[in-house]
Amino acid sequence: MLQAPSRDYSSVLGLALEKAKNALSSKGIVFSVEEGKGFYDIIVEREYLVAGATALKEAGFDHVVSLTVTDYPKEKKFRLVYHLTSYLDYEIAGAIIGLGVEVPRSDRPSVPSLTQVWRSAEFQEREVYEFFGIEFEGHPDLRPLLLTPPVAELRPLRKDFVVREENIYEGVPKSG
Amino acid sequence: MSVLDTVASLIFYPPIWQLLILGFGGALVVAMVAVWFERKAAARVQRRIGPYWASPRLGGLMHLMADMLRYAFQQVVIPRTVDFWPFIAAPIFGMALSILPFAVTPLTSNPNFWPLPPALMEYSLLVALAITTLPPIFIIVSGWAANNPFTIIGGVREAFIILSYELIAILSLFAPAVAVGSLNIVDIVQAQGLVKWFIVLNPLAFLAAILAVAMSTSAFPFEIPESEPEVVAGPFTEYSGILYALNMGGAYMRRFVFGLLISLMFLGGWYPIVPGEGFILGYALPSLVVVVKAVVVVLAISFLRAIYGRYRLDQALDMAWRLVLPLTLAGILLALVEAYLGIF
Amino acid sequence: MPPKVAVKPLPKRGGLLAGVSDNLAALMIGIKYFLNPKRFSIYYPKEYPELRKGYRGFIILNKQKCISCAACARICPSAAMKMIRVPVPHPKEPEKTVMKQFPVINYQRCIFCGYCVDICPTEALYHVNYHDIVYENLAEMFWDLDTFQKEPEYPTAEEGIPVRLMIHEEYGLLKVPAREKQG
Amino acid sequence: MQEGKAYVGNLDVTAKRARDILLGKVPLDKVVDWATSFSLWPVHLTTSCCSTEFAATFSPRVDGEQFGALPWVGPRQTNLIIIEGTVTKKMACAVRLTWEQMPAPKFAIAMGACALDGGLFYNSYNIVKPWQVIPIDIYLPGCPPRPETLARAIVTLQRKIRSKKVASTWVREGWRGDIEPVIPKEDLCGWAAKSI
Amino acid sequence: MVEDVRIYGGWKDELGLKVVPSKKIGKDLYEVFIGPQHPGSGHMRITVRLDGDIIVEADPDIGYVHRTMEKLGEIRGWIKPIPLFERMAIHDACNITMPYVLAVEKLMGVEPPLRAKYLRSLLCEINRIGAHLYGFAIFGVFLGHSTMYMWAMGDREVFIELAEALTGARLTHSYPLPGGARRDIPADFPDMARRAVNYMRKRLKEYEKIFLNNPVIRSRLEGVGVISKGLAAELGIVGPNARASGIGYDVRIVEPYDAYPELDFEVPVFREGDALARTMVRVEEIKQSLRIIEQAVEWLEKNPREPIVDKYLYGKYPPLHKKIMESEGRAKLLPISAAMKVPKGRAIGRAETGRGETIYYVESDGGVNPYRVRIVTASARNAIAFKYVLPGHKIMDLPAIYGSLDYFPPESDR
């Protein structure tokens, strides 16, 4: 099982996508696929998130690599993607498949927590909570992870939190 | 008898004399040299220089003097949460009791220079060992008085360690006494003579004694009460300035005391010098030999820092009870056999 | 040969014999290094390491070559480099002055990444190969145009002799004098 | 001391001289400064990634122990704090508390660009500058500074202590009052009581 | 005193090595804060609750070195974040920036020349050895073995000298660029590298004697902090820590990048999953990295020098730049790279850093700045292990587990 020769990553990724698609369609979940460079994102509706996660976990995606959230203030949404891959299923090991959901940008956005499905998402969900203010329903221990409370209240990774950049003439003491 | 004579006789009363010269003078120097050697030897094994720039010619020995003076003049912070009097008193009493065994240890066979009257000398080993068991109690007291999670855990660890090493230290140092059939240190040294040293005749007890000393003075690999990664500086975490220096010095003094006892009990004491009459031949030269042997023991124990990490607490206790205690008992057995064969 | 995964057994050690021999081996290697430490430590103020030619130390401006393109200030990741406008003599009419912009540097922020040196189209910026200079106040670390053109004073070089650390098969690093002794 | 007269004859002069020696503190000052400068023990507080170069300074290459500097575990026994790079808002409280726990006379070295003006993180929302938190003696440029630079800083600090009599002044006059930290402690540590 | 304590643990172990007790424990727990000013913590804090000597609950409180990399990455163009991201793990500088560079290369559709690929892989392996030796050093301190600290730090200097000769900086090399590398090897580099490799092989045997086979150290490591294969997969443990638990996962194999597909090396895997296995994985990886350095140096020496930047960029070089590239082997940047634009899209770049897989998710909206950079480093993913592995151990096992996980807070906090 461990004798891995150098494999073609794109074919493994294709296989993983097929497997994920099959797992989701067998549960009757509606989804759309978006292609990225080196990965695929499967976007589902909010109510299918937990069911889809359970299906993918059964299909062999055993841990969360990255919980990627992007803020789109113009479209008034957060795009929240759990990027998954597998350690134990050798066939799809290393292929990154994203399970995503789009969250409307309201006062208190919230999504169901997937910590019960993937334990590895626990700290990343805490991180997203403090940086974006997205609440995860059913998370066992939702506190800020990295930031102090006053800073976390600013929700620093949202696009409306602006960090100023200096230009090339700024801040020079007046001298000859 | 005038007042002056009384004062002079008090000052030149051997126990006090020995306590002052060896305890406050000699032991301080020995502690300094031991710390210096520990740092310098570790530095050599670790391929670096060690303390150097304060006195390049002495190899950085003056750095230790600088450390001591710096502690002496530094602010002493006494946190509001500590139990004030035990916090202050524990290091002072600990230090005082650490050097007290010097007052009862004979360093020569010339009765004029014995620290105790000849009648009491019969039990000198017993008295010395009894005193060495006292200072650790003050370490525990200082840990509890400082009232901090780390100091309390450190104090509890110290207590565990005491329980395990005390028996070994006493039994292994009794092995020569059993073989000779006397509790008089002078008799034991005289019995060893020029060649019949107990390091050769009873290596088991010697090994056990060395391990017990390493444990009691928290040398590596048994530096568990002050184990940095969990309990910062153990019982001494809250101490600063001169109080911390007393605590630090106390451990090295205890190591030196045990070194003296080992050099007397196992390494033939003042032999190959046979003490004669007069101050030089009767006291200075033999005691110098004893001290040199003790320093070698202390330095050898200090050298272990460069080789070993530390054991876990339960592993150290396990080792003490399961490995070293049988070793000690075997040493006693060996001593009994030797006594039966009548080697002495 | 492509890379592959190899499962290995963990070397087990146990028993009294191995315990004694391992202890002895550890002691022996300690004593071996105690007797011959093979050390390469630098006795610092009296010796200092001379760095290789390509080392990215302090950055110095050669004003003559500068064409005022501001590329260095724009690439600087920590905004340590700023452009200032100073009057310089007109190239054709010496009595007139024109305003020209030159970079100045703030060593409170500089991270010595060397991007400014690499982006400079005319090689007007260059590195010196030393780095160990310390300051007692922050204001000194902002270099104006005059300071930026001079190589900084190097107090270590006045106190000590340069050494070089060579990679050696036996010693790891070997300390050798960087230059022949004079006289 | 003139021949034979010192003890008996001129008691006034002798007493004055003795007082000069004992209370004038001239040699004592020197001893304190000398001892402090050769016994600068940095406290173990790793604020950021310059700690790798701090570690390299106390490794065989530039052995920091040759200056008598021995990295030590707890703040109570030390007298030097080396700010190793960025100080975040979360860490600033720890820096300040550690500084307050150290017994006087004590010194501080700020290491690396992040500790001076923020370095790469000059516009980050989560950093403070160490000189706003504690008084700093020596600043080191670089990101990270070389081990030799930190050794240079230690040497410079030693010379500063000896030439300006920093330690003895501090011992005699108590807390060094000339530098006041910019940010008050409540602002640094206030978040600890807060939760969301 | 804490009331109503949650009990974690109770993970079944496949190999039957350790089962964490999950008994219900009452109120009198002892709370100890390990960090941030603490010799056993580094730049983080673990709140440990003790029942006697046994850790019942461990709560890692990270973020003491959170320096807002993700936010600053969004406002600094495409080249400037390279030195920025490097600061997460400065002793592993090339490795930690590689995934970002790979992701940007994927978005731009450029491919570096083969020589640049070899150079980058060479520096990555030098850094990997440096990172592992640094890990050993810290581990040595945690176990009270100061000699290991000094030896590992001293031998790390050898590889720092190598990296300095190649890049001109001790730690923060800022070496890879999208589509190339910054400097070619100097003339005396191959000899230096070979000597360093031979030296390190000899030293590893001495490490075994004083540290790995030292009975005191072994007794601290064996059977401590066992992470079973199932638990490692569930918690998403990465890198050497996962490979010590029997998971043969390495980015250099699953998604090969740079010159790795052409190099001959092994990825060592152990099944035990305890602290000793995690240590041994690093020792074996150092051996493999030495092999890679040898091969890469040989290739670089054998093959003729060529431009080490992308063809498109090289085509735009003025004559002075070309001359510098030939004479000094130094790749100049062009002023356009200060404000370059990258096509719209999303890309994930990943690489095997010294501590495991690091992932950068880079999203571009076609502008001069990245729209979103999401960074998940190896230490960030390993941080969760403290919460689930520590309970059930003695407090004195904490440094052994911490050190064997080789956790580096600045990398984790980003």
In a domain, E221, yes or no: yes
In a domain, C23, yes or no: no
User: If you search the block for the tokens 């990627």, which residue do you land on?
Assistant: A68
Distance, in Å, from the CA atom of B40 to the CA atom of B64, rounded to the nearest integer, reads 11
In a domain, D186, yes or no: no
In a domain, E37, yes or no: no
User: Domain with E294 in it: what CATH number?
Assistant: 1.10.645.10
Q: What is the pLDDT of residue B153?
A: 86
Close Cβ partners of D19 (under 8 Å, ≥ 6 residues apart) = none
| Contact check, Cβ <8 Å, A120/E374 | no
Each of the 183 residues of chain C gets a pLDDT tens digit; together they read 677 778 888 887 777 788 888 888 888 888 888 888 888 888 888 888 888 888 888 899 888 888 888 888 888 888 888 888 888 888 788 888 888 888 888 888 888 888 888 888 888 888 888 888 888 888 888 888 888 888 888 888 888 888 888 888 888 888 888 777 654
Distance, in Å, from the CA atom of C179 to the CA atom of C62, rounded to the nearest integer, reads 28
**Residues A90-129: tens digit of each pLDDT:** 778 888 888 889 888 888 888 998 888 888 888 888 888 8
Distance, in Å, from the CA atom of A79 to the CA atom of A104, rounded to the nearest integer, reads 9
Q: What is the pLDDT of residue B134?
A: 86
| Residue in E75, E236, E350 closest to A120 by CB | E236
Taking CA atoms, A151 is separated from A155, C57, D47, E63, in Å, by 7, 36, 19, 12
| Contact check, Cβ <8 Å, B74/D74 | no
| Residue in C3, C28, C112 closest to E252 by CB | C3
Taking CA atoms, B323 is separated from B160, B217, B320, B326, in Å, by 17, 19, 6, 6
Residue A134 has pLDDT above 50, yes or no: yes
Close Cβ partners of C147 (under 8 Å, ≥ 6 residues apart) = none
pLDDT (average), residues B238-261: 85
User: Domain with D67 in it: what CATH number?
Assistant: 3.40.50.12280
Element of type H or E holding E34: strand E30-34
User: If you search the block for the tokens 């949650």, which residue do you land on?
Assistant: E6
Residue E343: asked if its preceding bond is cis (omega within 30°), the reply is: no
In a domain, E26, yes or no: no
Structure tokens of E270?
């152990």
Residues of chain A in contact with residue C4, where contact means CB-CB under 8 angstroms, are: 3-5
Calculate how close chain E gets to D180, using CA atoms only, in Å. 23
In a domain, D180, yes or no: no
How many structural domains comprise chain D? Answer: 1
Residue D8 has pLDDT above 80, yes or no: no
Distance, in Å, from the CA atom of B217 to the CA atom of C138, rounded to the nearest integer, reads 47
- Domains of chain A listed by start with CATH number: 9-152 (3.30.460.80)
Distance, in Å, from the CA atom of B62 to the CA atom of E299, rounded to the nearest integer, reads 54
In a domain, E82, yes or no: yes
C13-C17-C20-C22 Cα dihedral, nearest 10 degrees = -30
In a domain, E85, yes or no: yes
Three state DSSP letters for chain A: CCCCCCCCHHHHHHHHHHHHHHHHHHCCCCEEEEEEECEEEEEECHHHHHHHHHHHHHCCCCEEEEEEEEEECCCCEEEEEEEEECCCCHHHCCCCEEEEEEEECCCCCEEECCCCCCHHHHHHHHHHHHHHCCEEECCCCCCCCCCCHHHHCCCCCCCCCCCCCCCCCCCCCCCC
Name subunits touching E (3+ CB pairs < 8 A): A, B, C, D
Name subunits touching B (3+ CB pairs < 8 A): C, D, E
Distance, in Å, from the CA atom of B36 to the CA atom of B84, rounded to the nearest integer, reads 33
| Residue in C40, C49, C77 closest to D60 by CB | C40
DSSP one-letter string for E342-399:
--SEEEEEEEEETTEEEEEEEEE-SSSSEEEEEEE-HHHHHTHHHHHHSTTSBGGGHH
User: If you search the block for the tokens 């696009």, which residue do you land on?
Assistant: A159
Which of A132, A145, A147, A148 would best serve as a mutation to test chain D binding (most D beta carbons within 10 A)?
Answer: A148
State which residues of chain E have pLDDT below 50: 1-25
| Residue in E79, E155, E320 closest to C172 by CB | E155
Distance, in Å, from the CA atom of E399 to the CA atom of B309, rounded to the nearest integer, reads 12
| Residue in A4, A169, A175 closest to C83 by CB | A169
User: If you search the block for the tokens 């524990």, which residue do you land on?
Assistant: B90
DSSP one-letter string for B113-162:
G-SS-HHHHTTHHHHHHHHHTSHHHHHHHHHHHH--HHHHHHHHHHHHHH
In a domain, B38, yes or no: no
In a domain, D184, yes or no: no
pLDDT band at D196 (very low <50, low <70, confident <90, very high): very low
In a domain, D51, yes or no: yes
Q: What is the pLDDT of residue E129?
A: 92
Calculate how close chain D gets to C67, using CA atoms only, in Å. 26
**Residues B294-307: tens digit of each pLDDT:** 888 888 888 888 88
User: Domain with C167 in it: what CATH number?
Assistant: 3.30.70.3270
In a domain, C28, yes or no: no
Residue D167 has pLDDT above 80, yes or no: no
Range of the domain at C78: 37-183
In a domain, C114, yes or no: yes
| Contact check, Cβ <8 Å, A7/E345 | no
Contact B71, D72 (CB under 8 A): no
Residue D153 has pLDDT above 80, yes or no: yes
Close Cβ partners of D176 (under 8 Å, ≥ 6 residues apart) = D104, D105, D135, D166, D169, D170
**Residues B105-128: tens digit of each pLDDT:** 887 777 777 777 777 778 888 888
In a domain, D150, yes or no: yes
In a domain, C172, yes or no: yes
Name subunits touching A (3+ CB pairs < 8 A): C, D, E
Q: Rounded to two decimals, what is the model's pTM?
A: 0.90
In a domain, B11, yes or no: no
In a domain, D124, yes or no: yes
Taking CA atoms, C151 is separated from C131, E303, E366, in Å, by 11, 38, 42
Closest CA to E381 of E228, E279, E242, E238: E238
In a domain, B63, yes or no: no
Q: What is the pLDDT of residue B178?
A: 85
How many structural domains comprise chain B? Answer: 1
Close Cβ partners of B70 (under 8 Å, ≥ 6 residues apart) = D35, D36, D39, D79
Structure tokens of E314?
């090289």
In a domain, C31, yes or no: no
As a residue count, chain E comes to 414
Closest CA to D55 of B269, E136, E93, B242: E136
How many structural domains comprise chain E? Answer: 1
CB neighbourhood size of E121 (10 A)? 24
How many structural domains comprise chain C? Answer: 1
| Contact check, Cβ <8 Å, D86/E63 | no
Distance, in Å, from the CA atom of B111 to the CA atom of A84, rounded to the nearest integer, reads 85
Instruction: State ipTM.
Output: 0.88
User: Which C residues in the span 104-163 are in contact with D, Cβ-Cβ below 8 Å?
Assistant: 106-113, 131-138, 141, 156
In a domain, E169, yes or no: yes
Range of the domain at B137: 78-341
In a domain, B71, yes or no: no
In a domain, B328, yes or no: yes
Range of the domain at D53: 11-172
Region of poorest pLDDT, from A163-172, B4-13, C171-180, E134-143: B4-13
Cα E249 vs. chain centroid, distance in angstroms?
15
Range of the domain at E374: 69-413
E175-E180-E184 Cα angle (round to 5): 65
In a domain, D5, yes or no: no
Structure tokens of D125?
């929302």
Distance, in Å, from the CA atom of E408 to the CA atom of E65, rounded to the nearest integer, reads 10
pLDDT band at D22 (very low <50, low <70, confident <90, very high): low
